[in-house]
Amino acid sequence: MPTPPAAPGPRQPLPRSHAAFARAKRLIPGGVNSPARAFGGVGGEPIFFARADGQWLTDIDGRRYLDYIGSWGPMILGHRHPRVVAAITEALDHGTSFGAPTEAESRLAQLIIDCVPSVEKVRLVSSGTEAAMSTVRLARGCTGRDVIVKFAGNYHGHADSLLVAAGSSAATLGVPDSPGVTAGTARDTVVLEYNDPQGLEDLFAARGSAIAAVLLEPVVGNMGLVVPTPEFLATARRLTTAHGAVLVFDEVMTGFRLSLGGAQQILGVTPDITVLGKIVGGGLPLAAYGGRADLMDHILPAGKVFQAGTLSGNPLAVAAGTATLEELRDHPPYERLERQGAFLEQGLRDAAAKAGVPVWIARKGSMLTMFFQRGPEVVPVTGWRTASQSDTAAYGGYFWGMIDRGVYLPCSQYEALFFSAAHTDADIVATVTAAAEALATLG
């Protein structure tokens, strides 16, 4: 990786990004269209970008960075992959939206069904929030029950019933529950601690006949990366089956990233319904939810549970998603991503130890989080109780140290990083070197 010029820190914003942010704040709440893009968790001002190629981002001031967010997960092939660009271009020649069925939708649906173990039928939508919201309605409609169980630090989009003890940007901004979510809506959502099978046992013993669904991230990315214990997942699967509730895996982040079949394939636990997003759209706005045919057939017009969307199955997004999944199927990158991830993890661990910076590192495939700890003793991060104790100020210093060295990381301690098939071994080595330098300034 070429050595970039030194970048200013959070108190010395890049001039063109600074001007762009000042204008954006006059026009857009907070100057961003999603709180995950704000720099509230690291201080300073967000960087505005002009271009992305492969593993690189270029900002409007002309600086280039190795990208470790990948548009928050979708860009597993890297930016502007030739196969994806060609597919979008071809689709564009035929029209941008029809508001009517296309054969391309069925091709993508078949690909999803072929890849994901739990999916027998699938419905395409436009965002992960929409998919998760629709899944909740489906679970309630199928079971005739009201209660939804989720886990602190798991984020399933910003639908009212799910924006309770959420992770991600809500955690970064210190707002675990949003104003505007009514007490009545929140009342039907029960929040438990992730990786606590006994908590699930106790809840089902007390209220099992009222529970419509259990929603969880099978590998969490929205409070930083947290890996489930086998006992936790097995308990969720056993209890939902025994009590007639629906087990939902939110694989918006992990779907097609940890394997072609997602986290459920490598963890060996099959949910009833799976929520998909990000990679399934190849970088364009597209998401999906799918599962057992008997459940999915409750959705209108096959059944009575309502869900609709004007741009669902948009032909450009379908083309991008299909090309991405076909490339992952034809040229699977997962073994190389695992090898590079293991090297990155060990390199960061060694660098932190040498710098005397206490961290807990969690990784699964090409997803990773380094949790900065407040005390000398390293505490394993297993759920929101432990994740929320992270030293966010130390993470902010590390973030800007990496920006100085041309590496763009998530602008929050509570977001997982992602790398892509476009990243080379040399890029990973350069990242470890940059991290060692940045960590040394904190120790």
d(CA 184, CA 274): 26
Are the CB atoms for 271 and 247 separated by under 8 Å? yes
Set 121, 150, 278, 364: catalytic member: 278
Are the CB atoms for 15 and 61 separated by under 8 Å? yes
Q: Taking CA 17 as the corner, what is the angle to CA 12 and CA 22, rounded to the nearest 5 degrees?
A: 95
Is 278 part of the annotated catalytic residue set?
yes
Q: b/e string for 70-85 if b means 16 or more Cβ within 10 A?
A: bebbbbbbbbebebbe
d(CA 116, CA 74): 17
Helix (H, G, I), strand (E, B) or coil at 387: helix
Is 395 part of the annotated catalytic residue set?
no
Set 67, 68, 121, 155: catalytic member: 155
Token pair, residue 16, equals 């063109």
Proportion of the chain in helix, strand, coil states, percent, rounded to 5: 40, 15, 40
Is 155 part of the annotated catalytic residue set?
yes
Among residues 434, 403, 418, which one has the least CA distance to residue 42?
Answer: 403
Set 250, 272, 391, 427: catalytic member: 250
In the chain, count of helices (H) and strands (E)? Answer: 15, 14
Token pair, residue 420, equals 């892509």
The sheet carrying 287-291 orders its strands as 121-125, 287-291, 273-276, 246-251, 211-216, 147-151, 189-192
Are the CB atoms for 158 and 131 separated by under 8 Å? no
Helices of type H across 297-424: 315-330, 334-355, 384-387, 392-404
d(CA 365, CA 333): 11
Q: Count CA within 13 A, CB hemisphere, residue 429.
A: 5
d(CA 229, CA 132): 23
What's the length of the chain? 443
- Catalytic residue numbers, as ranges: 155, 250, 278
